[in-house]
Amino acid sequence: MAEYTPMIQQYLKIKAEYQDAFLFFRLGDFYEMFFDDAIKASQELEITLTSREGGSEDRIPMCGVPHHSAPGYIEQLVEKGFKVAICEQTEDPKLAKGVVRREVVQLITPGTMMEGKGLVDKENNFLASISEYSDSFGIAFSDLTTGESKVTKLSLQIDELINEIYVNGVKEVVVDPTLAEEVKKKLIERCQVTLSIETETSIPSDFERSVEILENDSQLLSTFGRLVNYLQKTQKRSLEHLQPVQVYHVHQFMKIDFYSKRNLELTETIRSKGKKGSLLWLLDSTMTAMGGRRLKQWIDRPLIQQSDINNRLNMVETLLNQFFERQELRELLKEVYDLERLAGRIAFGNVNARDLVQLKKSLQQVPHIQEVVQRLQNENASSIAKRIDPCDDLTELLDQSIEDNPPLSVKDGDIIKDGYNTILDQYRDASRNGKSWIAALEKQERERTGIKTLKIGYNRVFGYYIEVTKANIHLIPEGLYERKQTLSNAERYITPELKEKEVLILEAQEKIIELEYNIFTDIRETVKRYITRVQELAKMISELDVLQCFATVSEERHYSRPIFTNGELQLIDGRHPVVEKVMNAQEYVPNNCQMDDNRSILLITGPNMSGKSTYMRQVALTSILAQIGCFVPASEARLPIFDQVFTRIGAADDLISGQSTFMVEMLEARNAIVNATSNSLILFDEIGRGTSTYDGMALAQAIIEYIHNNIGAKTLFSTHYHELTSLDQQLSQLKNVHVSAIEDQGKVVFLHKIKEGPADKSYGIHVAELSDLPKPLIARAQEILSQLEAGNKQESKPESTLSVQVGQADKQLSFFTDTKPVVVKETNELPRKDKQLLDSIKALDLLDMTPLDAMNKLYEIQKKLKA
């Protein structure tokens, strides 16, 4: 190390403390990176890699970014999950002896980003810490941008832990190095988080309020301690906007696990991972960013206390009925900026005057909001109105002090209003007087010399000057002005008098700017004292925003208020909220659903694409909507309060963790079976499809029996195994329903209508026809099907057809029930090639093929036949 220059030595010393981060090393107007950091950063950021002398034999790899464009680069790296340590010069280079002192002033990480595109207005950015104890996991969360903090304890099940991290959209998790490898691995694979290490867990003294809250639980205290220690070490500044921590328990809310959240597309779609097309997207008529975040939190955590749910529903109903008040509220909310994030920036010390104007404008809406709430005819309205704190004194302070349209920079003046500070006013007078004196001088000199184009100007280098064009110079009386600067077509002059005034004006201006900055920082400090009140206010406003959003959506989409029961579920004309929205409302076919103690399991059959999974999802989404306090897409809805929702829908392969569809399917099924209670809702869509027919059907039946006999959860089970429909003979609470379809001139027409009883036919080929496969191919498929069906009746069962005993024997093979006899040539008369082909068709396991597989096979067969 000794061979390096002192600066590189300094670099290496600092870098040693931040090995897992890119070190942005401030050098003049640039942040430079060296060695491996430089090589990696040049690739990640696509910037030029250079090198420099550093004292050693080899040149040192180097790359850098100008400091003014650094935020964009930092953001890019952090977005990719990296950390960036910002190392600044912490003494004036002019005064430094030897190498300028440098220190890391902030470590920016995925979980601690305060600004940038990565921060979505309507999403939280939670950082989490995890501690493992002998009997539990402790988790703590903080969103630095909004100041929210919360903690909870979970049993030692890794899946639950992963679920909590996933639900909260965490990008970074702080752990102890000794945390089990398996947990770390899953966190990275499943939640794609950045892992950070923090061993210190004792809580620093400035978190008294949180310590009081957690004092009886040393585990939660140390989990939270890990988090705040990490925050303090990385942010190196005030964290006073962190609100007192909230303790929550997962069982206080409806539990929806990781898989189900994804399957039901609550906040993002499976395919695009985007918000569009999700329940959140459908619902989001919030007017503020805070409301948007609160909405997402509510969707993530539906309630289970009937009184809490009804409080929300009451307010939604009131807002729905009082249209004018709701519209007024929406207009007012539109003017409210992101108070939570403003509070965060205030605490962080990086607000500018424009932020404070936003704060003022937002606060100015609050008395009006209060007044509208007061007018609501709801038993809670007046207590809510009372709890809304408009922070009048703060509004007044900001209104008196900060200009309405201040510049972005807080260092160039023009921020503070006249009349706020007497000394400032005096300087401004001097400066303004000076300026009007100069205007008067210009007039006077024009008259004196008779030069109409004479003007007085100012520039930074020469100060004030009198400018006369070359053509008029001869008009200036001898000795009147002193020449200062010659331009191509004009001369610039000064006079002693002008010089004298100039000193006064410039001095006043300098003082103004300095004083304005000081006044501004004082105000900023004063505003800090209001952070807690502003955060409380933000919370109230965000909740009001979500409630008005529910009312707005419920009205627009004709939802109705759900009524809660002790177990019965009854939907009249229910709809899938998102599918209904994306398709033409007239085309959507509403459906009823009836489930109770005698009908706790519905076995749903019907052709592919007929609407089975839409129907199942609709039931789950309706329950979730009800339990977050929103009206629901049905003309009448009577619902139990579900403690948990489990789903196994669709074949979304879990590519990230490399698990096969079947494995994921079984994991999801297991999760439901192990955790569900009689108060839970289970949706199983085509379970058992991922394996061979026998296995799949056997598993599906065993699962149904198990739920029926041991759990009693309300269950919707769709299947393509028609054999399972006979289970109703044996399981008293299982009922068959089917999605109806009719054949119209040889084509299938989906009615999307749920009817009692099992479906009678599989429409695979008809469905394939809808996909616009070539007509001759479809015709041939029909022909083959007819032959198969005929063969099936005439011959003894080929080995490959199903022979699993499910329920009654006569219910077997309902797949091809209404077959018409087809005249087939005697097989021994067929040419060998055709016979082989027919045999291969017979051997096909149709139930285990997708329509596309079937088409491919057909295509092959046809090709051979034509050859």
Does residue number 263 form part of the binding site for ligand ADP (CB under 6 A)? no
Contact 455, 473 (CB under 8 A): no
Does residue number 588 form part of the binding site for ligand ADP (CB under 6 A)? yes
Sheet containing 137-143: order of strands: 194-197, 172-175, 126-132, 137-143, 148-154, 246-247
Tokens of 809: 């024997």
Q: Which residue is nearest to ligand ADP (CB)?
A: 611
Tokens of 565: 């029961």
Q: Hey, which residues between 84 and 113 contact ligand ADP (CB under 6 A)? A: none
Length reported for the chain: 867
- Part of the chain binding ligand ADP (CB under 6 A), chosen from 293-301, 341-349, 523-531, 579-587: 579-587
State which residue, 301 or 576, has the beta carbon closest to ligand ADP: 576
Tokens of 397: 């302070």
State which residue, 377 or 586, has the beta carbon closest to ligand ADP: 586
Does residue number 719 form part of the binding site for ligand ADP (CB under 6 A)? no
Q: Hey, which residues between 803 and 842 contact ligand ADP (CB under 6 A)? A: none
Which of 402, 609, 741, 785 binds ligand ADP (CB under 6 A)? It is: 609
Does residue number 262 form part of the binding site for ligand ADP (CB under 6 A)? no
Is 612 marked as a binding-site residue? yes
Tell me the per-residue interface mask from 31 to 70 with ligand ADP, x by CB under 6 A, - otherwise.
----------------------------------------
Does residue number 762 form part of the binding site for ligand ADP (CB under 6 A)? no
**H-only helix segments in 600-708:** 612-628, 661-675, 693-706
Is 406 marked as a binding-site residue? no
Beta bridge partners of 89: 102
Contact 33, 11 (CB under 8 A): no
Three-class secondary structure assignment of 465-533: EEEEEHHHHHHCCCCCCEEEEECCCEEEEECHHHHHHHHHHHHHHHHHHHHHHHHHHHHHHHHHCCHHH
Does residue number 478 form part of the binding site for ligand ADP (CB under 6 A)? no
State which residue, 240 or 760, has the beta carbon closest to ligand ADP: 760
Measured distance CA(700)–CA(721) in Å, rounded? 9
Q: How far is the CB of 391 from ligand ADP (least distance, A)?
A: 49
With tokens 């010069």, the residue in question is: 89
- Part of the chain binding ligand ADP (CB under 6 A), chosen from 72-80, 94-102, 432-440, 607-615: 607-615
280's enclosing H/E stretch is helix 279-283
State which residue, 503 or 583, has the beta carbon closest to ligand ADP: 583
Q: How far is the CB of 668 from ligand ADP (least distance, A)?
A: 17
Does residue number 505 form part of the binding site for ligand ADP (CB under 6 A)? no
Does residue number 610 form part of the binding site for ligand ADP (CB under 6 A)? yes
Q: How far is the CB of 686 from ligand ADP (least distance, A)?
A: 8
Does residue number 737 form part of the binding site for ligand ADP (CB under 6 A)? no
Which of 608, 644, 736, 814 binds ligand ADP (CB under 6 A)? It is: 608
262's enclosing H/E stretch is helix 258-263
- Part of the chain binding ligand ADP (CB under 6 A), chosen from 205-213, 303-311, 469-477, 611-619: 611-619
Does residue number 586 form part of the binding site for ligand ADP (CB under 6 A)? no
Is 539 marked as a binding-site residue? no
Collapse the DSSP code of 376 into the 3-class scheme (helix H, G, I; strand E, B; otherwise coil) and give the result: coil
Does residue number 254 form part of the binding site for ligand ADP (CB under 6 A)? no
Q: How far is the CB of 665 from ligand ADP (least distance, A)?
A: 15
Contact 175, 230 (CB under 8 A): no
Q: Hey, which residues between 554 and 573 contact ligand ADP (CB under 6 A)? A: none
State which residue, 282 or 332, has the beta carbon closest to ligand ADP: 282
Amino acid (1-letter code) at residue 264: L
Contact 505, 431 (CB under 8 A): yes
The CA-to-CA distance between both ends of the chain, in Å, stands at 78
- Part of the chain binding ligand ADP (CB under 6 A), chosen from 99-107, 494-502, 528-536, 588-596: 588-596
Measured distance CA(668)–CA(752) in Å, rounded? 27
State which residue, 79 or 653, has the beta carbon closest to ligand ADP: 653
Is 607 marked as a binding-site residue? yes
Collapse the DSSP code of 439 into the 3-class scheme (helix H, G, I; strand E, B; otherwise coil) and give the result: helix
Measured distance CA(592)–CA(574) in Å, rounded? 6
**H-only helix segments in 115-246:** 158-167, 181-191, 208-214, 218-235
Q: Where in 163-318 does DSSP place strands (E)? A: 172-175, 194-197, 246-247, 255-256
Is 611 marked as a binding-site residue? yes
State which residue, 87 or 609, has the beta carbon closest to ligand ADP: 609
Is 225 marked as a binding-site residue? no
State which residue, 298 or 588, has the beta carbon closest to ligand ADP: 588
The whole-angstrom distance between residue 821's C-alpha and the CA centroid of its chain comes to 58
Sheet containing 482-486: order of strands: 455-459, 463-469, 490-494, 482-486
State which residue, 344 or 611, has the beta carbon closest to ligand ADP: 611
Give me the torsion for CA of 26, 32, 36, 39, rounded to 10°.
160
Maximum distance among all alpha carbons in the chain? Answer: 130
Does residue number 622 form part of the binding site for ligand ADP (CB under 6 A)? no
State which residue, 96 or 583, has the beta carbon closest to ligand ADP: 583
- Part of the chain binding ligand ADP (CB under 6 A), chosen from 41-49, 145-153, 248-256, 610-618: 610-618
Measured distance CA(675)–CA(667) in Å, rounded? 12
Is 609 marked as a binding-site residue? yes
Candidates 335, 331, 334, 338; CA nearest to 355 is 338
Which of 14, 589, 813, 841 binds ligand ADP (CB under 6 A)? It is: 589
Task: Return all residues near 510 (Cβ < 8 A) that are at least 6 apart.
Answer: none
Candidates 792, 772, 783; CA nearest to 843 is 792
Which of 288, 358, 614, 725 binds ligand ADP (CB under 6 A)? It is: 614
State which residue, 92 or 587, has the beta carbon closest to ligand ADP: 587
- Part of the chain binding ligand ADP (CB under 6 A), chosen from 250-258, 396-404, 447-455, 606-614: 606-614
Measured distance CA(559)–CA(567) in Å, rounded? 22
Which of 492, 612, 689, 720 binds ligand ADP (CB under 6 A)? It is: 612
Q: How far is the CB of 697 from ligand ADP (least distance, A)?
A: 18
Q: Burial of 546 by CB count in 10 Å (0-12 exposed, 13-18 middle, 19+ buried)?
A: buried
Q: How far is the CB of 767 from ligand ADP (least distance, A)?
A: 9
Is 610 marked as a binding-site residue? yes
Does residue number 587 form part of the binding site for ligand ADP (CB under 6 A)? yes
State which residue, 609 or 837, has the beta carbon closest to ligand ADP: 609
Report how many residues bind ligand ADP under the rule CB under 6 A.
15
Q: How far is the CB of 254 from ligand ADP (least distance, A)?
A: 23
Does residue number 611 form part of the binding site for ligand ADP (CB under 6 A)? yes
Amino acid (1-letter code) at residue 817: T
Candidates 766, 768, 816; CA nearest to 793 is 816
Does residue number 761 form part of the binding site for ligand ADP (CB under 6 A)? no
Tokens of 33: 């990176």
Q: How far is the CB of 591 from ligand ADP (least distance, A)?
A: 6
* CA separation, residue 116 to residues 43, 81, 84, 352, 390 (Å): 21, 14, 14, 16, 29
State which residue, 505 or 669, has the beta carbon closest to ligand ADP: 669
Q: Which residues are annotated binding-site positions for ATP?
A: 606-613
Please report, as ranges, the residues that interact with ligand ADP according to CB under 6 A: 579, 583, 587-589, 591, 606, 608-614, 752
Q: Which residues are annotated binding-site positions?
A: 606-613
